[in-house]
Amino acid sequence: STIESPKNEKILTIDFDQIGGQETAKKELLEALEFVVNKDLVKKLGIRPLKGIILQGPPGTGKTLLAKAAAKYTNSAFIATSGSEFVEMYAGVGAKRVRKLFADAKRLALKEKKNSAVIFIDEIDVLGVKRGSNSSHMEYDQTLNQLLVEMDGLKSSDIQILVMAATNRLDLLDDALLRPGRFDRIVNIPLPSKWGRLEILRIHTKNKPLGDDVDLEKVAAQTFGFSGAHLENVTNEAAILALRNNRLTITQQDFLNAIEKVIMGEKIDRVPTK
């Protein structure tokens, strides 16, 4: 089942303050989440309930983290999957999995005694591509249709479900997904700014022994173009380099070497540094 898929095994709860940078995204997301938190007020005012949010941005920028934080903030059960898990050769399998995903989310919320659930779908573009643009893949259309049916059907049920979907190609998505009452919020999650990078570096070195010469601001300045995932990688590599040299503290040189290592491994585009 989706609940037991490997991706969900290490569901750690996460707060917004454990996510570095992304000030605008966090603000927009929190505004949107008030609709989930103040469900009764929203109902009284006759506001259409919020059903879907799209997180748009490059890989490794914290989209999954933000979805997890959103679940915690709204006291919702959390269930994660990826668009690629719905792509099957056999007709109807994808649609069936979509149905099961929503059923699983409701079941999980009941089990955890929560009134709401957040469903996170990574790589939504895989199943939400413009219909007809892929005429040999009628299967995608069925899967996408089922997703729309499930989202449109989210009304009377006691358990409120919010679908958060991530993509780095918003332009590929079928317009039907972006219609009111479906994914009608789009939050941009860009690569972090220098200050965002500094915050992310601080978060990921919180429990690491740093030498006196370590200047994380310099590290932030030298990592233009890095995503949060790249930066986490840098802090980990720096610690490994210290270990290899039998040191119990990480030095600035370890960070510099780690940056080079990550650049070599990831082919990061380092256009003008600012």
Part in contact with ligand ATP (CB under 6 A); list of ranges 2-10, 134-142, 209-217, 227-235 = 227-235
Query: Applying CB under 6 A, does 235 fall inside the site for ligand ATP?
Result: no
CB 139 within 8 A of CB 87: yes
- Which DSSP letter does residue 47 get? P
Query: Applying CB under 6 A, does 22 fall inside the site for ligand ATP?
Result: yes
State which residue, 205 or 222, has the beta carbon closest to ligand ATP: 205
Query: Applying CB under 6 A, does 63 fall inside the site for ligand ATP?
Result: yes
| Spatial CA neighbour of 24 closest among 168, 193, 156 | 193
Among 33, 98, 200, 210, binds ligand ATP (CB under 6 A): 200
Token representation of residue 126? 């895989």
Query: Applying CB under 6 A, does 59 fall inside the site for ligand ATP?
Result: yes
Part in contact with ligand ATP (CB under 6 A); list of ranges 15-23, 39-47, 104-112, 215-223 = 15-23
Main-chain phi, psi angles of 47, to 5 degrees: -80, 140
Report, in Å, the least distance between residue 254 CB and ligand ATP. Answer: 19
Interface map 102-141 toward ligand ATP (x if CB under 6 A): --------------------x-------------------
Distance CA 80, CA 68 (A): 9
Query: Which of helix, strand or coil describes residue 260?
Result: helix
Query: Which of helix, strand or coil describes residue 161?
Result: strand
State which residue, 83 or 228, has the beta carbon closest to ligand ATP: 228
CB 2 within 8 A of CB 81: yes
Token representation of residue 31? 């505004």
Query: Applying CB under 6 A, does 64 fall inside the site for ligand ATP?
Result: yes
State which residue, 70 or 250, has the beta carbon closest to ligand ATP: 70
Residue nearest ligand ATP, Cβ-based? 228
Report, in Å, the least distance between residue 82 CB and ligand ATP. Answer: 8
Residue 167 burial (CB < 10 Å; 0-12/13-18/19+)? buried
Main-chain phi, psi angles of 79, to 5 degrees: -140, 130
Query: Which of helix, strand or coil describes residue 199?
Result: helix
State which residue, 60 or 83, has the beta carbon closest to ligand ATP: 60
Distance CA 164, CA 147 (A): 12
Report, in Å, the least distance between residue 63 CB and ligand ATP. Answer: 3
Positions in the binding site for ligand ATP (CB under 6 A)? 19-22, 59-65, 122, 166, 200, 203, 228-229, 232
